[in-house]
Structure 1
């Protein structure tokens, strides 16, 4: 049974394999043929029968109680984000209808705001496709351009990888956020296309995707190593547009009066428009 037809089982199995016997407080005796905990060990620690837990992983029971899920979450060391994701895999909640096969167009007001900002900024969708940018964003990274996909560039573009001294942490965060953003909508064509391409092309992506990490992106400092101005740390803010979670405004800004602010100002000077240069405002087909 595939992940799309048994999302709950795939998630439980992946998270179970990440918990060590030491974390679970189980004596590590003999040779273990499976990574992490065995099914019967999870069941014992959660206070449920091994047969019932097996039915959950195999997709034969998709309506466990919240109390059972809380017990399993405790054993699997799920934090709030991971437990919230677990609930979406079993709750009988109608999926929100989304536009498929069509690129979204950012609202006019959001575009005006984007181009009024004096800091690097761009608009992305839930797949990290870039829909609109301002000049300073592209000066910060050529990969921040309309039609590019940040996940694809992070895993497959050496220049984009060199920009991130903490590349491993950044990729882990992006993949975990993609899991959260897509949720149970795993039959979405764009999602299938993107994850399929990256799974074939990047061992690092395959490794992270198999972990089923779930995490929301929040405001955080981001270290960059720019080829022109060197290392700097910028604050990365991710803001929803019109209260929806499908479109996000991303803004990079330095601490006031810092050397990072001076370096960003240098990039801004180099990015001043010429008479034949315009900001990108209209989405093109994503680069494949």
Structure 2
């Protein structure tokens, strides 16, 4: 036995399947998560996790410790304690991505009447949206958190015509952001919330897919203008590390371009 193993075992006993978005199967003889469930959430083999709890493996990597801290819903203090027990320096909390969007960027976004544009942080919190983006995404998408929108908003499955692909790509992008700054306070919070509330997110999370956003095409089903197919481009905001700008564009002369013009007219009429 080891202090690390004892700590893992005690934290595991405090969580149930519902706390991490898993479905309970079969009768449970002991409280808490099973070892194989923690291993699944952390993306490690069951045998490796058992060795950690039994003290036969005493030198897990920092990456494994981060995964275990996330799987066990450890806060900042619990994460630091886990690292110390494993002989690693306690992780230094990363500074949060700035929430303020540069005024020059806001002016640029406002000058695109036919191009929906959003700025979001590492956790996919929407920090700014131009008027046509607000008209496209509506009250449930132009503000708040895009990950929460995809996985917990019932309307998302109708809004995104290809929801399974959007969901998988969203998790892969979130995984990349988490890997770059695993201690970002907002990323940690959103991850814990999604693991606790969405079984579909949890299933995708343990796949460990990693993809950044660059170019893509999305098909939206808008309640007022119908189906809209848009190409998107994503850019890092160099003046604010962690922020990204995503800009949507319809093919010139297409029905989707006409739909965007209609959305722009609707957005303008609502501001009068």
TM-score scaled by structure 2?
0.65
Matched, 1:135 2:131: yes
Q: Judging changes above 3 Å, is the alpha-carbon distance between structure 1 residues 186 and 256 closer, same or farther for their aligned structure 2 residues? A: same
CA deviations over 1:125-162 (Å, ceiling 9, x no partner): 1111011111111111113333x101001111111221
Measured in 2, the distance between the counterparts of 1:236 and 1:162 equals 20
Structure 2: runs of 5+ lacking an equivalent: 9-38, 49-56, 63-90
Equivalent of 1:192, from 178, 188, 193?
188
Instruction: Show the counterpart of 2:104.
Output: 109
What is the alpha-carbon distance in structure 2 between the residues aligned to residue 217 and residue 96 of structure 1?
A: 27
Paired residues of 1:141 and 1:160 also in contact (CA < 8 A): no
8 Å CA contact 2:122–2:174 kept in 1: the answer is yes
RMSD: 3.7
Paired residue total: 208
**What is the TM-score when the length of structure 1 is the normalising length?**
0.61
Match of residue 60 from structure 1: 59
Structural mapping, 1:70-81, within 5 Å: none
Which of 177, 185, 204 in structure 2 is aligned with 1:208?
204
What are the within-5 Å matches in structure 2 for residues 211-230 of structure 1? 211-230=207-226
Runs of 4+ in 1 over 3 A off after TM superposition: 95-98, 273-276
Please tell me whether the aligned partners of residues 235 and 252 of structure 1 are also in contact (alpha carbons under 8 angstroms): yes
Check whether the contact 1:133–1:144 (CA below 8 A) recurs between aligned residues: no
Q: Distance in 2 between matches of 1:182 and 1:197?
A: 14
2:121 equivalent to 1:122: no
1:243–1:275 distance in 2 versus 1, CA, 3 Å: closer
1:87 corresponds to: none
Structure with higher helix content: 2
1: CA distance between counterparts of 2:235 and 2:58? 36
Q: Secondary structure at the match of 2:208?
A: coil
For 2:249, the equivalent position in structure 1 comes to 253
What SS does the aligned partner of 2:155 have? helix
SS at match of 1:173: helix
Which residue number in structure 1 is paired with residue 230 of structure 2? Answer: 234
Q: Give 1:149's aligned residue.
A: 145
